[in-house]
């Protein structure tokens, strides 16, 4: 069972801790400092409880705690890709992802945060830029899951409607082309084409 407790410091700031037992009441109580926000502590307690329920004990219960900015630097340092791909990914991370998530814990980034980022970027840039940004973020989180920094990838949980769609170019027909089309069709279909 995992639970949270807050401790107030002399300067009246609250610090939250998560406590848990790996094997019931007979086991020793373990704890970890969750930070100053209750929401982060509650999220971490749920994550720890899920890991205890899955049978992960010892070092596997608590995911590695790192901010997005720190993980992005590590990820770019070990990424194997062509130089042009690395340059493009580094540009996307430095332009969009780090200004948004740099100080946030990697396991605290939610699907709502990703949706908000995509909405903002899609309004400012093209849909292809948003799709590439989503691909980079998805790859980062997939690697973070494998390295035990996070339990799940929020990008994988996005619906198709949440992902930016390419803009379709519509071709307009001018009056001369419309007249040629109407004349080439049989009588009963020409009226339908005109409408």
pLDDT tens-place string over residues 46-88: 877 777 776 655 555 555 678 888 888 888 888 888 889 889 9
Torsion (CA) 130, 133, 138, 144 in degrees, nearest 10: -150
Reported as a single tens digit per residue, the pLDDT across 162-195 is 677 666 666 777 888 888 888 888 877 777 777 7
Whether pLDDT at 4 is above 80: yes
Q: Note the pLDDT of residue 63.
A: 58
Cα–Cα distance measured from residue 6 to residue 33, given in angstroms and rounded to the nearest whole number: 10
**Neighbour count for residue 179 (Cβ, 10 Å):** 11
Q: Please give the CATH number for the structural domain made up of 64-189.
A: 1.10.150.130
pLDDT reported for residue 105: 81
CB-based contacts of 9, cutoff 8 Å, min separation 6: 15
Q: What pLDDT is stored for residue 172 in this prediction?
A: 78
**Edge-to-edge strand ranges of the sheet holding 14-21:** 2-8, 14-21, 29-35
Q: 123-139 pLDDT, tens per residue? A: 888 888 888 888 899 89
- What pLDDT score was predicted for residue 76? 87
What residue segments make up the domains of the chain, in order of their start?
A: 2-60, 64-189
pTM for this structure? 0.56
Secondary structure class of 180 (helix, strand, coil): helix
Q: What is the pLDDT, as a whole number, of residue 49?
A: 77
DSSP string, 77-125: HH----HHHHHHHHHHIIIIIHHHHTTSBGGG--HHHHHHHHHHHHHHS
The residues near 150 (Cβ < 8 Å, ≥ 6 apart) are 63, 106, 107, 141, 144
**Going by C-beta distance under 8 Å and a sequence separation of 6 or more, which residues neighbour residue 65?**
105, 107
Number of H helices, E strands in the chain: 8, 3
**How many Å apart are CA 46 and CA 70, to the nearest integer?**
24
Candidates 30, 1, 33; CA nearest to 17 is: 33
Residue owning tokens 């720190």: 70
Q: How far apart are CA 136 and CA 184, in angstroms?
A: 50
- pLDDT tens digit sequence for 8-59: 888 888 888 888 777 666 667 777 777 788 888 888 888 777 777 766 555 5
Listed residue (105, 92, 91) closest to 34, CA to CA: 105
Over the stretch 109-124, which tens digit does the pLDDT of each residue have? 888 888 888 888 888 8
């Amino acid at each position: 069972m995992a639970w949270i407790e807050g401790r107030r410091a002399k300067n009246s700031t609250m610090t939250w801790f998560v406590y848990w037992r790996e094997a019931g009441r007979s086991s020793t109580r373990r704890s970890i400092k969750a930070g100053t926000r209750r929401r982060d502590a509650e999220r971490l307690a749920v994550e720890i409880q899920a890991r205890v329920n899955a049978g992960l004990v010892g070092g596997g219960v608590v995911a590695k705690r790192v901010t997005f900015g720190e993980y992005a630097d590590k990820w770019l340092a070990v990424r194997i890709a062509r130089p042009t791909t690395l340059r493009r990914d580094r540009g996307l991370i430095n332009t969009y992802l780090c200004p948004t998530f740099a100080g946030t814990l990697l396991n605290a980034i939610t699907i709502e945060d990703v949706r908000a980022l995509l909405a903002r970027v899609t309004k400012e840039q093209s849909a292809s830029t948003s799709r590439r940004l989503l691909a980079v973020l998805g790859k980062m989180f997939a690697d973070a899951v494998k390295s035990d920094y996070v339990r799940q990838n929020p990008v994988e949980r996005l619906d198709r409607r949440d992902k930016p769609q390419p803009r379709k170019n519509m071709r307009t027909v001018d009056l001369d082309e419309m007249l040629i089309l109407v004349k080439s069709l049989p009588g009963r279909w020409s009226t339908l084409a005109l409408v």
